Structure 1
């Protein structure tokens, strides 16, 4: 008898909780349905607020990791080809002068008859001595250097000059042996075959250098070559020196760069396996944990051909729980899973520029719950086509990318819809003196769609865009952001940073929102493998209620292996 009232109270409480949950779901879903973003087309399902959408938070995590991985190098890479062949000392010839009537050359694999004739035309018919003949040899060797042919040289051999005819020998080195050093996992045969140079054939050092540079761009290992004299005259041996990443790299980090809705403070690690098959294949594993989210991603990448093509299969998973912001009282949880297949391929090289193409297909499944009741469930299929260009010289690096993404998506209780968005991004790094460099970054997004899934919205705020605002502060279907930075080395371990950011997003039916901020920071090398990045940014425009005008972020990273 004494337990019966309590039982009725519990049942009544459960009923009331159920009713409250359903009411809350209706209120929240109704609020989403009234978002101005949805006014562009009544038939299109409304976009979910990125601050609580697990797919959008998953995208933020991936963008942040990509941003950190793609930081431009302040210093240009060192030479990949070193010529260690001795240079013959010039001989002392006769100073007797004569009229040069004809120059004869050996056949050349690299120099055209027109090039050789243009050199000869400067001297034939003039009075000349040995010093003048040496100048002819220097002119021809300059042509070899212009072509980056380190194994070609002109030689004036001892000869009897009759009737003003002089023979100049053209020695163009042929490949002798190739020796590989430093490889522990990378196959020797894989490294040698990559060079695409045949023994006993004329060695094109310009093509050799391009092959090595391509290897270093597409592989985690680094390759350098040393040219050495071969066993026989005119033969050139190659010593390939390889430096490989560790078999099991490990890096741990802690920062406060997470989304405020799921907890800014987070810790994580990155690890993987390199070179399991001996061909620079690699497995990567990333995991991050904050109070309200745990994103995990794993990928496997493998070379597809000897022209730098790679295939990457990745899967990522995130579980979220909203712990801060205007939605924290609603007990909102979520999960998102994404599987992606990407194929990238170098397409061409012209002067200092390289051009790459990429195609990617994937699927994302995301859901949100409020107190255990389904709030939303979205499935997204995507196809991305991309073209990238990068150019380097000793003082600057320029990069540009154009990507178009096509999606087909369906939300809970809604028909499937299609949309597309195009992004144009660019980076310009300029070295300034011995201790400084500037970086200019920009991304522009355009879409004709009325509504985009949250994974495709351009989100502003946080360390990867406008740093004076919290991550994902505002978002829209179209917009841009621009970062301008100046880095200056204060000493061997510390660099100071000054920056300004600006951005704007808009969606149909919604007033555009412009953000801008400025700030300063430090990059510190605390110890071997231990680095610290600290930034302080002040928002210059108020766009959010209860906005905090100063954002301070710090990230410490320790590369253990």
Structure 2
């Protein structure tokens, strides 16, 4: 028999039922009356949300960013070297938009007042051009034009290209042209092209916008010293969605899940998105809807979402008790990329959410009814540089809870971390390391909706979903994926977890598994995983879990 978190959590029946309906409490099985935890449908909803977030993290890790800036790099115009020697009294430069007179004269001073040759002048040009490259000024260079040197003065021309025009290689289809323009520096015809600012803006846009990206090509203009900027948008499909079927549910409310998840990209033409998830089993219905929109040129975004979960116990020893539950969450948040370069990104944000959950027994007898208001502050550090992708998110959660049956209230604080790391080895092998942890300051009275859960497809896979929930916990996974032939991939999965709960038979979870995945035509994906449990943490525990999921993208 499979063991499910709901059979662990039925201890909530004891206190509320004794208070509101003492006659009914006598019908509870003795083993159920000994359970200390609170049954909360929020736990089931949190697991569904966790699976969504893991899929989003995996998609983020595998996202391919387009090259931000492609520029023709002309060969340096060097002077022919020979045996001729001469001495310069001064070197004159035209005005530069990027290099200060002090810096230019400090460089020139190395070649003035001593005997030099043409090889030294070439080194002068290379030094100035290196400085341009280091400053990411791709359309600027120094040249020495043909000239007669009078009074020992050499003239060096600094060619800093001006914009000849801006064109679209392909016109934006779903995202407003103004959205892209607002995130770029001013590109005015006739002005000096600041490729450093353009490159930074393109890298920021492509790294922080989940949907549209933009690439720019720089081509020589019609006149000497000018450059034409060619913009090329890369936009996702209007609707990206998939149907799914899996056995990630629980025995008590239905193992087989069916549903759809997807995203509507740029419904308002501003890089915004409307995402959804709708998943059901025989005894549960879960839905989630979220809208995100960028609100500043640095792609800080506001999001608002709503989740709901209805649950009914239809299998197992407590089916006749008529246990039903429902929960819902409203959330509103803001996320801002604060700093980034070619490899690193630092993000920060906050979220407020309000949840309500209710569980009933025998139709209308209240077992639990709670409200939780949470404020969450988050900080994310991301590193992306082939072959590595690493992202760590640190959350601090402040929660106010109210038990609507007893009137009890509480304030709680938890610290939560999430790590996802991926490294490609060649073209066919990927290594993945994942970890989550939680620490609660008020561990003795922490409500069940704030507990850390272990077990299931997004945690220690050898155990049923939510087999353990505790105030403090940590899990970690090491995965090796090998694409041994086109379309087929096998994987080795090692999971471990720890829960700080004195009521468990064993506080350490561990499992080892093998996976097989088949992909066809970028639409159909079939995943199968068998993971064996290495420790027994609850009575009558299964030896392992066979997990199956198939998805169809359209």
Distance of 2:28 and 2:410 partners within structure 1: 22
Distance of 1:33 and 1:201 partners within structure 2: 78
Q: 2:231 aligns with which of 229, 232, 240?
A: 240
Work out whether residues 260 and 324 of structure 1, in 8 Å CA contact, stay in contact via their aligned partners in 2.
yes
After superposition, where does 1:41-80 map in structure 2 within 5 Å? 47-49=37-39, 53-71=40-58, 73-74=61-62, 77-80=65-68
Deviations along 1:154-205, whole A, 9 cap, x unmatched?
Answer: 2222222345543322222233433232411211122112112241433332
* Aligned residue number for residue 321 of structure 2: 330
Q: 1:484 aligns with which of 475, 478, 483?
A: 478
Q: What is the deviation of 1:88?
A: 5.3
DSSP 3-state at the match of 2:132: helix
- 2:433 maps to 1:431: no
* Aligned residue number for residue 464 of structure 2: 470
DSSP 3-state at the match of 2:243: strand
With over 3 angstroms needed to count, the CA separation of the structure-2 counterparts of 1:133 and 1:284, relative to structure 1, is same
Distance of 1:535 and 1:467 partners within structure 2: 9
DSSP 3-state at the match of 1:201: coil
DSSP 3-state at the match of 2:125: helix
- 2:139 maps to 1:151: yes
Q: What is the deviation of 1:69?
A: 1.2
* Aligned residue number for residue 379 of structure 2: 387
- 2:517 maps to 1:528: no
- 2:409 maps to 1:416: yes
- 2:391 maps to 1:403: no
Q: 2:177 aligns with which of 179, 183, 188?
A: 188
Distance of 1:552 and 1:141 partners within structure 2: 61
* Aligned residue number for residue 258 of structure 2: 267
DSSP 3-state at the match of 1:260: coil
Q: What is the deviation of 1:117?
A: 5.4
Distance of 2:272 and 2:64 partners within structure 1: 26
With over 3 angstroms needed to count, the CA separation of the structure-2 counterparts of 1:23 and 1:276, relative to structure 1, is same
Deviations along 1:217-252, whole A, 9 cap, x unmatched?
Answer: 224112111112234433322222112222233311
Distance of 2:482 and 2:104 partners within structure 1: 48
Distance of 1:420 and 1:251 partners within structure 2: 37
Deviations along 1:440-462, whole A, 9 cap, x unmatched?
Answer: 12222111112223332110011
* Aligned residue number for residue 272 of structure 2: 281
With over 3 angstroms needed to count, the CA separation of the structure-2 counterparts of 1:67 and 1:29, relative to structure 1, is farther
DSSP 3-state at the match of 2:252: helix
* Aligned residue number for residue 545 of structure 1: 539
With over 3 angstroms needed to count, the CA separation of the structure-2 counterparts of 1:119 and 1:344, relative to structure 1, is same
With over 3 angstroms needed to count, the CA separation of the structure-2 counterparts of 1:499 and 1:115, relative to structure 1, is farther
With over 3 angstroms needed to count, the CA separation of the structure-2 counterparts of 1:328 and 1:159, relative to structure 1, is farther
Distance of 2:426 and 2:139 partners within structure 1: 34
Distance of 2:551 and 2:315 partners within structure 1: 26
* Aligned residue number for residue 5 of structure 2: none
Deviations along 1:405-441, whole A, 9 cap, x unmatched?
Answer: 1111112223111111111222232232343231212
DSSP 3-state at the match of 2:373: strand
- 2:432 maps to 1:445: no
- 2:100 maps to 1:108: no
Q: 2:84 aligns with which of 97, 103, 128?
A: 97
Q: 2:488 aligns with which of 488, 494, 512?
A: 494
Work out whether residues 97 and 127 of structure 1, in 8 Å CA contact, stay in contact via their aligned partners in 2.
no
With over 3 angstroms needed to count, the CA separation of the structure-2 counterparts of 1:131 and 1:404, relative to structure 1, is same
Work out whether residues 273 and 293 of structure 2, in 8 Å CA contact, stay in contact via their aligned partners in 1.
yes
Q: What is the deviation of 1:512?
A: 6.5
Q: What is the deviation of 1:329?
A: 3.6
Work out whether residues 272 and 282 of structure 1, in 8 Å CA contact, stay in contact via their aligned partners in 2.
yes
With over 3 angstroms needed to count, the CA separation of the structure-2 counterparts of 1:171 and 1:22, relative to structure 1, is farther
With over 3 angstroms needed to count, the CA separation of the structure-2 counterparts of 1:509 and 1:75, relative to structure 1, is closer
Distance of 1:186 and 1:470 partners within structure 2: 43
Question: Could you tell which deviates more after superposition, 99-108 or 334-343?
Answer: 99-108
Work out whether residues 25 and 375 of structure 1, in 8 Å CA contact, stay in contact via their aligned partners in 2.
no
**What RMSD over aligned residues (CA atoms) do the two structures have, in Å?**
2.8
Q: What is the deviation of 1:362?
A: 1.1
Distance of 2:29 and 2:92 partners within structure 1: 87
* Aligned residue number for residue 301 of structure 1: 292
Distance of 2:517 and 2:63 partners within structure 1: 15
Q: What is the deviation of 1:272?
A: 4.4
Q: In structure 1, list runs of 5 or more residues that go unmatched.
A: 1-19, 37-46
Deviations along 1:111-158, whole A, 9 cap, x unmatched?
Answer: 455654565466556654434433332332222222222122222222
Distance of 1:182 and 1:282 partners within structure 2: 20
With over 3 angstroms needed to count, the CA separation of the structure-2 counterparts of 1:473 and 1:117, relative to structure 1, is farther
